[in-house]
Amino acid sequence: MNKPPSVPEQFDAVVVGAGFAGLYMLYRLRELGLSVRALESAGDVGGTWYWNRYPGARCDIPTTDYAYTFDPDLEKEWTWSEKYATQPEILDYLRLVADRHGLRSDIEFSATVTSARWDEPEERWAITTSSGNEIRCRYYIMATGCLSMPKSSEIEGAGRFRGQVYFTSRWPHEGADLTGQRVAVIGTGSSGIQSIPLIARQASQLTVFQRTANFSIPAHNGAPSADRLEQLSEDRDGYRHAARWSRGGIPTDLTDIFGVTASEEVRRERFEAAWAQGELFGILNIFADQGVNPASNDIVAGMIREKIRSIVQDPVTAEALCPNDHYFGTKRPCLDTGYFETFNLPHVRLVDLRAQPIVSITEDGIETADESFGFDAIVYATGFDAMTGALVAADITGRDDAPLGEKWAAGPSTYLGLMTTGFPNLFMLTAPGSPSVLSNMAVSIEQHVDWVAGCLRDMREAGFETIEPTALGESGWDQHVQDCAAITLYPTANSWYMGANVPGKPRVFLPYIGGVDAYRKACDDVVEQGYLGFRLTGPGQAQCHDGVVRRMQPDVALVLELLATLGLPPMDSLSAADARSLMAATAVNRPPGPEVGEVTDGVIPGAAGDLPYRLYRPAGLPEGPRPLVVYFHGGGWVLGNLDSDDPLCRDLCARSGAVVVSVNYRHAPEDRFPAAALDAFAAVQWVAAHATELGGIPGQLAVAGWSAGANIAAVACQLARDAGGPQISGQLLICPVVDSDLTRPSYEENGDGYILTTALMRWFWDHYADPADRGDPLAAPLRGNLAGLPPACIVTADFDPLRDEGVAYARALEAAGVPVRLTRARGHIHTSLTMVDLVISGAPVRAEIGDTLRAFFPNAVPQEPVS
Ligand code: NA7
């Protein structure tokens, strides 16, 4: 196979790696009729399953699902012997696949890629290998795995030890006989937890050095799950389809039970069932909110700790084995066979490195802050430079001689976890920004390989030869990946998902947590939209449909999906009474919002009769008067009441430290324009006049509102200015209605599908004001005199029909000399910010609003914002 370096071999494609991903990629490229060379540094196929030969190494996804599905005959012929297969069995499986499809003839083994350089004029990759060969190819595909680059040992003195040294990730092929030896294992991730019980069987003494206690549940290994086998035999295609469109790559009925609201009995029942089942996606699916809500997560974590305490006899050891520094699931949980039980053996000891850190490895063993240990062998189960390690180490240089490592110095950036700008025709399978390690890898690998193969086929058919993401497409995807992570608890942990296990590695959440199903849909949408966010070129032609494939906040998208399944009638098709009932019904099970110190209801005189109000006093603040915020609810002047915006008012109160007075006003069509606006002004006047008795600071008064409530708040500010009082410190207008012109572009772009529709807005106006009145500044404050108004905070949402008029009001206020803070709720809809604790991604925007409210009152006692 070797050729003199002066005559580079030419291929259409080079694939690096012959593990699960590389083998299937090779298969698909050959199927396309491309010439392909696969380069594999190991002596055989298998990837992860070639290297990780430590005792106890097994998959942690059930074998019924941890397999290729592209070859139906193989599926029928191959039978896994266990629920979780051992490394040798999985390696046998991959060898069989390679042989069955004659893949070995295109694989060069023991060939490590030393560099790859994009040759711009030739539009080809120039690849060199450890044997000095140069290979040239059009398409360069990294199938190098997510956990393939072992973390180098950063422990002081690691090279000094004179006994045997083993790495779980590079276990000797001939095995290691530890019989009668004094063995140390450093690391209690999956590799440590799987190997420790088996090493304990051989060692005369086993000392486990634990830096972080890890969550693990019993695998209950044995025969493959009868239930899954039955489902497969009944409808294999249906089962595989369900896996491809599932959250994690295994068919799972996602629960809608919330941990925080479930009864103790339901909690226990669900936990015990998951514990008995022994599957990762089961224990991660006890409650719908366990990945996002600390209180729900604590319920699961607490139950696992109970189990650990019930297994481990020595209470001190049990306590040290109980994880308590991260939320359950935020570091990869483990499946074990007798792990915790191992610590009941007399010759096994746990050393808690939090209590006595390792000072150094010595010639004879390990020295901690408290003790010196002598060992015959040290086993490092210290993990990997995950997800980016193997890619960066492969010395890839793209356009303008820019190395990938430099581009990713502050964290990886990819489009769809498949490609990255500046590196044309470089495909990365299961790279950062794709579900990969958070999913069943077998399903994710097949999806990535199929996407790449489909892309190359499409390019060939259209006559394109290069493909590269655009900067916009890629930055949009990076943002989406981080948005998805930000609403979960995952970024809080020092995990390898965050790069936190490797000293100096940037702290960025690496995989895509939005789900295999959502991810597959995004990849498909990109193709359907003409390779959105990619630039393609070929002889005499180029194509670029630039754009961002997912701009909406992921939890907002989930809310919209859920609403769509309810099949509710459009509000604008209902009577006002029915619309009010519908609004009340949809609010029934929503989260209540944060606790505040005190909530009292009362009545104030309005412009034409009493107006109910609800007052929220902040908790935990020093006694004494606080600034006041008069708040008006949304609902198009037709809907809404004190209850409808209760969670938002609690949130505003908690974040701002102000007393919030939410006031009802007369609604249309019973009381049409200008009743609501006049009530609002009357309410502001009354609250200002009664500031002291409401617990407020006289002269420190802001007005606020959402939607139509923001409309009347803005009008009240204009009326107060004209009337010479009361003095208003600031106006907070959240997604305000400020004009009756429904032709701005946002009414077109966001006119349908985002809860508030253009049709509904029209319905609201029809109920509220005659066409002749709609230009009156009391209805459309944008058309009024804006000079001398109080400082404003205007919040607009990207997917709101009202977005553009909010921006227009901000600009107009600024032009009139009014200080304005325009806050953009990126990726949000009109109702997002009111959905407290439901649309979690709204929290940072509400935090910003809280800051602005506090800034309206510079003389008030400064208060800590709620987190
Ligand atoms: P992991 O899960 O990264 O576990 C590595 C373990 O080694 C973990 O307990 C680490 O503690 C520990 N570690 C790492 N560096 C040190 C040092 N310097 N001193 C002491 N302890 C250390 O790797 P695995 O190989 O077990 O599993 C990887 C994945 O493979 C697994 O998630 C499955 O998906 C399959 P830390 O938690 O960082 O404090």
User: Hey, what are 48's tokens?
Assistant: 């992860």
Residue type, 865: P
Q: Which two tokens stand for residue 350?
A: 């746990």
The closest residue, in CA terms, to atom 6 on ligand 1 is 187
Give, rounded to a whole angstrom, the gap between the first and last alpha carbons of the chain: 62
Any ligand 1 atom below 6 A from CB of 501: yes
Buried b / exposed e over 281-303, threshold 16 CB at 10 Å, is bbbbbbbbbbbbbeebbbbbbeb
> Is-contact 375 163, C-beta < 8 A?
yes
DSSP state of 532: B
Residues paired with residue 821 on neighbouring β-strands, in sequence order: 793
Instruction: Say which residues have a Cβ less than 8 Å from residue 621's Cβ, sequence separation at least 6.
Output: 597, 657, 861, 863
Residue of 170, 324, 382 to mutate, ligand 1, most atoms within 8 A of C-beta: 382
- Expressed in angstroms and rounded, the spacing between residue 501 Cα and the centre of ligand 1 is 7
**What is the number of residues in the chain?**
867
Tell me how far apart the alpha carbons of residues 197 and 338 are, in angstroms, rounded to a whole number: 6
Residue 571 carries which DSSP code?
Answer: G
CA of 434 to the centre of ligand 1 (A): 22
Range 831-848 burial, b when 16+ CB lie within 10 A, else e: bbbbbbbbbbbbbebbeb
Q: What is residue 866's predicted lDDT score, i.e. its pLDDT? A: 47
Cβ–ligand 1 distance for 212 under 6 Å, the answer: yes
447 near 515, Cβ under 8 Å? no
Q: Ligand 1 atom closest to Cα of 496?
A: 3
Distance CA 339, CA 308 (A): 10
Residue ranges with strand state E in 657-717? 659-663, 696-706
Which pLDDT score is estimated for 861? 55
- Closest residue (by CA) to atom 3 of ligand 1? 383
Give pTM, 2 decimals.
Answer: 0.95
Cis peptide before 726 (omega within 30 of 0): yes
Ligand 1 pocket, mutate which of 191, 196, 351, 430 (most atoms under 8 A from CB): 191
Q: Does ligand 1 have an atom closer than 6 angstroms to the CB of 187?
A: yes
Cα 504 to averaged position of ligand 1 atoms, centre (Å) = 16
**H or E element that contains 454:** helix 441-462
Q: Which atom of ligand 1 is nearest to the CA of 154?
A: 18
CA of 189 to the centre of ligand 1 (A): 4
Residue 193 alpha carbon, nearest atom of ligand 1: 26
R_g over Cα of the chain: 31
Residue 845 in contact with ligand 1 by CB distance below 6 A: no
Q: For residue 639, which of 694, 581, 717 has the smallest C-alpha distance?
A: 581
Task: Please state whether 550 falls in left (phi above 0), alpha (psi between -120 and 50) or beta.
Answer: beta
Q: Name beta bridge partners: 113.
A: 129
Which residue has the CA at smallest separation from atom 29 of ligand 1? 190
User: Can you tell me the distance from the alpha carbon of 419 to that of 390, in angstroms, rounded to the nearest whole number?
Assistant: 15
For residue 153, the ligand 1 atom closest to its alpha carbon is 18
Q: For ligand 1, atom 15, which residue shows the shortest CA distance? A: 382
How far, in Å, is the centroid of ligand 1 from the Cα of 154?
Answer: 13
Peptide bond into 791 cis (omega under 30): no
DSSP 196-237: HHHHHHH-SEEEEEESS---EEE---SSPPHHHHHHHHH-HH
Residues 672 and 638: beta-carbon distance below 8 Å: no
CB 504 within 8 A of CB 443: no
CB within 8 Å of 138: residues ≥ 6 apart: 11, 12, 13, 123, 124, 125, 425, 465
* Any ligand 1 atom below 6 A from CB of 211: yes
Please name which of 519, 398, 513 lies closest in space to residue 448, comparing C-alpha atoms: 519
CA of 192 to the centre of ligand 1 (A): 8
Cβ atoms of residues 673 and 768 within 8 Å: yes
Contact 473, 415 (CB under 8 A): yes
The number of CA neighbours under 13 Å toward the Cβ of 500 is 13
Number of helices and strands in the chain (H, E): 26, 29
- Structure tokens, 32: 């396309």
Query: Which of 388, 393, 421 has its CA nearest to residue 118?
Result: 421
For residues 402 and 396, what is the distance between their CA atoms, to the nearest angstrom? 8
Is residue 279 classed exposed, middle or buried when 0-12, 13-18 and 19+ CB atoms within 10 A define those classes?
buried
- How far apart CA 781 and CA 737 sit, in angstroms, is 9
Residues of the chain scoring pLDDT < 50: 1-3, 862, 864-867
- Atom 20 (ligand 1) nearest CA: 211
Name the residue of 147, 188, 351, 501 to mutate for ligand 1: max ligand atoms within 8 A of Cβ.
501
Task: State if residue 147 touches ligand 1 by the CB under 6 angstroms criterion.
Answer: yes
Report d(CA 3, CA 10) in Å as an integer.
11
